[in-house]
Structure 1
Amino acid sequence: MANHKSAIKRNKQNALRNARNTHIRSTMRTYVKQVRQAVAEGNAESAKTALERVIPFIDKAATKGIIHKATASRKISRLTRLVNALQA
């Protein structure tokens, strides 16, 4: 356990950041699953609305440094291709 004041503060900061990052990552994964589930069901309208909700969330996660920007771009690209293939 931390003994110095600065180490105690650092532990608190790390715990808060970890909780925030975990929440954002988990929520992002849930939204991605909703898009994939709508595509699997063949529901184009639901898939499109879910995609519109997840794209800004993925971008925000990349901006905050929770995921890499290339990972965010790849996820958005693949999900968009899935939804577009369903609509075509």
Structure 2
Amino acid sequence: MANSAQARKRARQAVKQRAHNASLRSSLRTAVKRVQKAILAGDKAAAQSIYQESVSVIDRIADKKIVHKNKVSRHKSRLSAQIKALAA
């Protein structure tokens, strides 16, 4: 338990920050799922346009260090490869 006033304040701030970070992580997952859903539908043009929108969201979350940049890069690479494979 936090004993000093400063420690109590930091504990309160940590709760708020954790909730904010969880919200951002959730928006990352939603962006990835939107692209995957478009890929499963088989519409390459729609998948590409949704992918372009999602990349900005994904990169913004990586810049804030909510998730590691390599994880973001891996997601983008796999989604891009799946979109390219739609034509074949």
- Does the CA-based 8 Å contact 2:38-2:46 persist in structure 1? yes
TM-score, scaled to structure 2: 0.89
Structure 1 counterpart SS, 2:86: helix
Structure 2 counterpart SS, 1:67: coil
Q: Which runs of 5+ in 2 are unaligned?
A: none
Once residues 7 and 32 of structure 1 are traced to their aligned partners in structure 2, the CA distance between those partners, rounded to angstroms, is 37
Where in structure 1 do 4 or more consecutive aligned residues deviate above 6 Å? none
Partner of 2:59: 59
How many aligned positions are there? 88
Partner of 1:16: 16
- Does the CA-based 8 Å contact 2:31-2:58 persist in structure 1? no
- State the percentage of identical aligned residues: 39
Q: What amino acid does structure 1 have at the position aligned with 2:18?
A: N
Q: What amino acid does structure 1 have at the position aligned with 2:27?
A: T
CA RMSD of aligned residues (A): 1.3
